[in-house]
Chain A
Amino acid sequence: MDRTSGGITRWSLVNLLVLLYALVPVVWIASLSFKDPSTFTDGTFFPTKWTLRNYSGIFENADFVRGLGNSIGIGLVSTLVAILIGTMAAYAVARLDFPGKPLVLGLSLLIAMFPQISLVTPLFEIERTLGLFDTWPGLILPYITFALPLTIYTLSTFFKEIPWDLEKAAKMDGATPFQAFRRVIVPLATPGVVTTAILAFIVCWNDFLFSISLTSSSRARTAPATISFFTGSSQFENPTGSIAAAAIVITVPIVVFVLVFQRRIVAGLTSGAVKG
């Protein structure tokens, strides 16, 4: 590889371009969120007059706080359930031989590619009939469904990487099936499960379509949907700052997660994709 100083300079430049690509739009929203409302229209990239008013404003907004709570609650419940039943299915797919396995995988793949909008219309009507419309379960159900394919695929890849022999070795070493699971399989599977949980949570956290379609009030509406209802009502003279601040608030936790677990997330996102 080209390790000359020229090579290093060239690569540094290329890297810089990639960094700018990824960072400029984010810095822009952040800078907007720190701009004093009087300077929104100056068109500068960085704030000329800094303020935290936009942030204090959104946290005084009951709808947004509620939306944030809904996002966290609905996201966590959906992730938990998806991981629970997804782990079971992934274990079966990775470790057991049974007819119908292709069916489970096929169904997962189908749903991964399913246009969510095709579900919105019937779900809207079904949930109204069942009384699920505008409730947490009304969003949790579709979220679980769309997090499941990812959970099953990613986790089954992780499970497949745990060698069969380890379970056998544990049995030979005198472990009961439960001890083998508890002391050998669980410690080895945990990183994969954590990674998958983060990915599943991101899927739920990122949703917008279901949230605006299957809710009609702040009862269950999640944060991204709540933001789109910041329309410069009486309490906000101009929604720009609030929207920017809210966008940063809902983005930062995910970005932190993603950066902290970077290595594992890359492995999780690309697992299965290459073996095809």
Chain B
Amino acid sequence: MAEIVLSGVTKRYPDGTTAVQDLDLSIADREFIILVGPSGCGKSTTLNMIAGLEDISEGELLIDGRRVNDRAPRDRDIAMVFQSYALYPHMTVRENIGFPLKLARMGKAEANAKIEEAARILAIEPFLDRRPAHLSGGQRQRVAMGRAIVRNPKAFLMDEPLSNLDAKLRVQMRTMISRLQNQLGTTTVYVTHDQTEAMTLGDRIVLMRRGIVQQVGTPEELYDHPHNLFVAGFIGSPSMNFLPADISGGALHSVLGEIPLSDRMRRALAAHHSPDRVVMGVRPEAFADASLDRRREQDAGELRFGGRVEILESLGAEKFAYIDLEPGTVVDSEHLADAFQGHSPGHRHAQIVARLDPRSQASEGRMLDLEYDPASIHLFEPETGLNLTEHA
């Protein structure tokens, strides 16, 4: 059980590249924190620095208040679960889990009791005498977890531990890890590139891009109040819709039509030198099928937008409608390019995605009227990506 503090931590390689820059982070005891971001963002490097597998170029790393920059991994009392599981192929499951205990010169009887306790928690007792080669992916994953929990370390470090599993197992293991961490209460730092994993697992999320922390907060904070275009684009699935927009005559002009500026928008724009071009963002969840709303009185401020449904995906509990926009309405931003690296490539098309109630009668090739609340609109500065509506 420990508190982990990183202050001003930087990782620079001799060839001049900076993998992590000036990272400040304070991880509370018993906290489950997620490092997330696209590949190459520095999250794994950060984890390796906490582990002691990579040197820290600048800054300080404190575990339980003690500076551990120069300590070898084995003197930091933290356990790590690797993406590849890194099980020792020449040892049985029992020997794998018992390896840290053996290195710590623990007595045989005591070690066996601990191994069996860990195996019981992870439900891998039947496989204790098998070799890793004879286990399924999910079983190997649990053995790797067993090796981490068996010696009751100060902290767990997990490096994309679920990315080698198939989708169904991944969801099961996610729940298991969550429950295990709750039960053991061990401080956990978890690296992933998958925003769904980040949203579901963590107490707090650290979102990184190009070696720099973009935002730290609870999943809700990152979802509702993204600091910039990158965060807004990375968190949420399907991603937020982004459109270029002009501001003139007290209104916002985009392919969604003319939107009168609300007081909130006016304040945000005024605070940032009143730009005349912005990027507007609306989450797919902010849209609703206007026809379902016909019976009740339309809200005074509610906005409307209509378009032809190109593709309709019905998932049972929800429907996604994809509406094609005129060409040239794609937002070209490095932030978004980074955020979408590796997922939702379709979103790079000039398209609006709307998440609809399953009762919606929308169908492919037909027109659909959508309504949305102007309060759900985020405005971003196109160059820096700053979320103006969050920094009023």
Contact = CB atoms under 8 A, between A and B. Distances in A.
Interface of A: 163, 165-166, 168-176, 179, 183-184, 187-188
A172 B80 contact: yes
Contact of B147 (A165, A168, A173, A183): A173
Nearest to B84: A165
Contacts of A165: 82-84, 86
A171 B53 contact: yes
A184 B82 CA distance: 16
B100 A173 contact: yes
B89 interface: yes
Given A166-B88, A187-B90, A176 B74 contact: yes
A169 B80 contact: yes
A168 B103 CA distance: 14
20 contacts: A163-B86, A166-B86, A168-B80, A169-B80, A169-B86, A169-B147, A171-B53, A171-B72, A171-B74, A172-B73, A172-B74, A172-B80, A173-B99, A173-B100, A173-B103, A174-B73, A174-B74, A174-B104, A179-B103, A183-B99
A172 B51 contact: yes
Q: Which of A173, A183, A188 has the most CB of B within 10 A?
A: A173
Contacts of A188: 88-90
Contacts of A170: 88, 99
A interface secondary structure, majority: helix
B82 A168 contact: yes
Interface string B44-64: 000000011100000000000
B73 A171 contact: yes
Interface in B31-55: 51-53
Q: Which of A174, A179, A184 has the most CB of B within 10 A?
A: A174
Contacts of A183: 99
Interface residues of B, number: 23
A174 B103 contact: yes
Q: Which of B53, B73, B104, B151 has the most CB of A within 10 A?
A: B73
B78 interface: yes
B199 interface: no
B321 interface: no
Interface of B: 51-53, 72-74, 78-80, 82-84, 86, 88-90, 99-100, 103-104, 147, 151, 157
Contact of B78 (A166, A168, A172, A179): A172
B137 to A, nearest CB: 15
A171 B76 CA distance: 11
A188 B74 CA distance: 22
Contact of B86 (A168, A174, A175): A168
Contacts of A176: 72, 74
A184 B147 CA distance: 15
B74 A168 contact: no
Contact of B79 (A172, A175, A179): A172
Nearest to B80: A172
A175 B157 CA distance: 17
Contacts of B147: 169, 173
State the 6 A-B residue pairs at the shortest beta-carbon distance, nearest first: A165-B86, A169-B86, A173-B100, A174-B74, A172-B80, A174-B103
Contacts of A168: 51, 53, 73, 80, 82, 86
A231 B88 CA distance: 57
A181 B93 CA distance: 20
Nearest to A173: B100
B90 A175 contact: no
Nearest to A163: B84
Contacts of B103: 173-175, 179
A171 B72 CA distance: 8
A171 B103 CA distance: 10
A173 B104 CA distance: 9
Nearest to A190: B90
A202 to B, nearest CB: 27
A192 to B, nearest CB: 13
Given A172-B51, A184-B88, A187-B90, 11 more contacts: A165-B82, A168-B80, A169-B82, A169-B86, A170-B88, A171-B53, A171-B72, A171-B73, A173-B79, A174-B74, A179-B103
A169 B144 CA distance: 10
Contacts of A187: 90
Contacts of B78: 172
Contacts of A163: 84, 86
Contacts of A174: 73-74, 100, 103-104, 151
Contacts of B104: 174
Contacts of B84: 163, 165
B19 to A, nearest CB: 16
Nearest to B75: A174
Nearest to A169: B86
Contacts of A175: 74, 103
A171 B99 CA distance: 11
Contacts of B79: 172-173
Q: Which of A166, A169, A184 has the most CB of B within 10 A?
A: A169
A194 to B, nearest CB: 14
Contacts of B157: 172
Contacts of A173: 74, 79, 99-100, 103, 147
Nearest to B150: A173
A170 B51 CA distance: 12
Q: Which of B51, B103, B104, B147 has the most CB of A within 10 A?
A: B103
A171 B79 CA distance: 10
A15 B83 CA distance: 44
